[in-house]
Amino acid sequence: MSHDYEKEYEAIKAQDPEIYETLIGEEERERTGIELIPSENYVSMATREAMGSVFTNKYSEGYPGRRYYGGQEFTDAMERIAIDRAKQLFKADYANVQPLGGAAANVAMYFALMSPGDTVLGMDLSHGGHLTHGHPTTEINQVFNFVRYKMKDVDTGEIDYEALREVALEHKPKIILAGFSAYSRELDYAKFKEIADEVGAYTVADVAHITGLIAAGVVKNPFDFGFDVMTMTTHKSLRGPRGGMIVVREDEGIAKKINKAVFPGMQGGPHMHQIAAKAVAFKEALDPSFKDYAAQILRNAKAMEKVFLDANVRLMAGGTDNHLLLADVHSSLDITGADAERVLDEVGITLNKNMIADEPRTAMEPSGIRFGTPAMTTRGMKEEQATRLAEIMIEVMQSKDDADKKAELQKEVQAMCEQFPVPEKFV
């Protein structure tokens, strides 16, 4: 049964037609195109209801049982449920569900574990690290000192652990940060932990992208290797609302510092509607069906990997062990990442241009594209569809000026969207 959007947005339509138009436009865009941005997904109607719920009215500064405002009977109960579910999902003793997003979670974590001027050893940004890992344009870069590790070989994705150790010994970082937004292999968490122990650093994994894969147990959980903290987003592979979270393996002292850094250190009133939506999504992720979903994400990524490798398209790290792929389309298909993003959009496939490791071009006209399978897998697509989509992507990039070809492929993409509608319920 398809959702009645007219009904859902009835009040907005009557009161604010301009915003109503944008909502319906986005509904249409999301349903009639294939979403391959690896950091995006579709939430269930239950999660959306919680996100648009009465909890948006409530101020709840503080934590359950210790708030600065009255009337917390239901917010306390709800946040406690969210925390319990988060702890179960990640095998954590402590969870802070209040960070507004992944960037906010990282900044709070830095202030919790360090003093200004201290050093973080993180993944080089051009090798897959995130802006919040100390990009020169970010404010946090003015507060803390960021040093880098890289891949040893960009065509296998192997991290240069020897160089990582040398940098750690030289700079004595307070935090060794594992984690990425454009890297497709598993990390050797045990190795990170060994080096961190040698220099007395905290181990933190920013698992923003692979949150759902860790929760489902289809990729490694850094806590199984003794990591101290994980920061994350809830809206990517975990399939929850836009938001952030910090979980702590077992150290109560660290958990207390994290709580203080989030509130009052960084944030004011928590977004209780967002926390309610997180709780709903966590319950969905605790359902056994979520494991099947996450395993299918990996199989679909492997199916796409095969098509690209068979067509001799260079994949960064040589392929993927997770949900995302990074292709050097400029050297392989003679198209820039920006042009690829644009022509694929014309046929209804959304992804993003991306710099490849040691990018020789510019950020706005890079060599690569980044794409991934969480959202298309939510639609119920399997290896057959992943394979065909990858073939279509290559055909489109090879026929970027052929209007007839693109029109034909757009119809095929459209038909796939109709065959695999965005579901409203996951459990």
Instruction: With residue 231 as reference, give the H or E element that holds it.
Output: strand 229-233
Q: Using only the alpha carbons of the chain, give its radius of gyration.
A: 22
Residue 206 known to be catalytic: yes
The one catalytic residue in 61, 76, 160, 194 is 61
Residue 80 known to be catalytic: no
**Residue 304 interacts with ligand PLP (CB under 6 A)?**
no
The only residue of 33, 241, 244, 374 in contact with ligand PLP, by rule CB under 6 A: 244
Segments of 301-377 assigned E as strands: 314-315, 324-328, 349-350, 352-354, 368-372
Q: Which of 254, 241, 271, 232 is nearest to 98 (CA)?
A: 271
Alpha-carbon separation of residue 262 from 2, 40, 274, 329 (angstroms) = 40, 25, 15, 41
List, as one string, the DSSP characters of 360-388. Answer: SS-SSS-SEEEEESHHHHHTT--HHHHHH
**Residue 206 interacts with ligand PLP (CB under 6 A)?**
yes
Complex with ligand PLP: residue 101 or 270, whichever CB lies closer = 101
Phi, psi of 35 (to 5 degrees): -90, 115
Residue nearest to ligand PLP (CB): 102
The only residue of 103, 154, 317, 347 in contact with ligand PLP, by rule CB under 6 A: 103
The piece of 57-65, 99-107, 364-372, 400-408 that touches ligand PLP (CB under 6 A) is: 99-107
Complex with ligand PLP: residue 95 or 394, whichever CB lies closer = 95
Residues sharing a CB contact under 8 Å with residue 380, sequence separation 6 or more, in sequence order: 420, 423
The one catalytic residue in 67, 165, 236, 257 is 236
From the CB of residue 310, how many other CB atoms can be counted at a distance below 10 Å? Answer: 11
The piece of 82-90, 146-154, 176-184, 188-196 that touches ligand PLP (CB under 6 A) is: 176-184
Residue 239 known to be catalytic: no
3-state secondary structure of 313: coil
Interface mask toward ligand PLP for 9-48; x: CB under 6 A = ------------------------------x---------
Complex with ligand PLP: residue 237 or 259, whichever CB lies closer = 237
Q: Cβ of residue 271: shortest distance to ligand PLP, in angstroms?
A: 13
Q: What is the spatial distance between Cα 191 and Cα 224, in angstroms, rounded to a whole number?
A: 13
**Residue 101 interacts with ligand PLP (CB under 6 A)?**
yes
CB 207 within 8 A of CB 214: yes
3-state secondary structure of 419: helix
Q: What is the spatial distance between Cα 295 and Cα 374, in angstroms, rounded to a whole number?
A: 10
Residue 233 known to be catalytic: yes
First to last CA, the chain: 15
Percent helix, percent strand, percent coil in the chain, to nearest 5: 50, 15, 35
**Residue 102 interacts with ligand PLP (CB under 6 A)?**
yes
The only residue of 208, 349, 357, 369 in contact with ligand PLP, by rule CB under 6 A: 208
Q: Which of 214, 183, 180 is nearest to 290 (CA)?
A: 214
The only residue of 203, 221, 233, 373 in contact with ligand PLP, by rule CB under 6 A: 233
Q: Cβ of residue 133: shortest distance to ligand PLP, in angstroms?
A: 7
Q: How many residues of this chain bind ligand PLP (CB under 6 A)?
A: 15
The one catalytic residue in 59, 93, 160, 391 is 59
Footprint (CB under 6 A) of ligand PLP, residues 70-89:
none
Complex with ligand PLP: residue 102 or 368, whichever CB lies closer = 102
Q: Cβ of residue 241: shortest distance to ligand PLP, in angstroms?
A: 11
- β-pairing, 324-328 vs 314-315, is antiparallel
**Residue 240 interacts with ligand PLP (CB under 6 A)?**
no
**Residue 181 interacts with ligand PLP (CB under 6 A)?**
yes
Footprint (CB under 6 A) of ligand PLP, residues 108-167:
130, 132
Give one word for 16, left, alpha or beta, with left for phi > 0 and alpha for psi -120 to 50.
beta
Residues annotated as part of the active site: 59, 61, 206, 233, 236, 242
Residues that bind ligand PLP (CB under 6 A): 39, 101-103, 106, 130, 132, 179-181, 206, 208-209, 233, 244
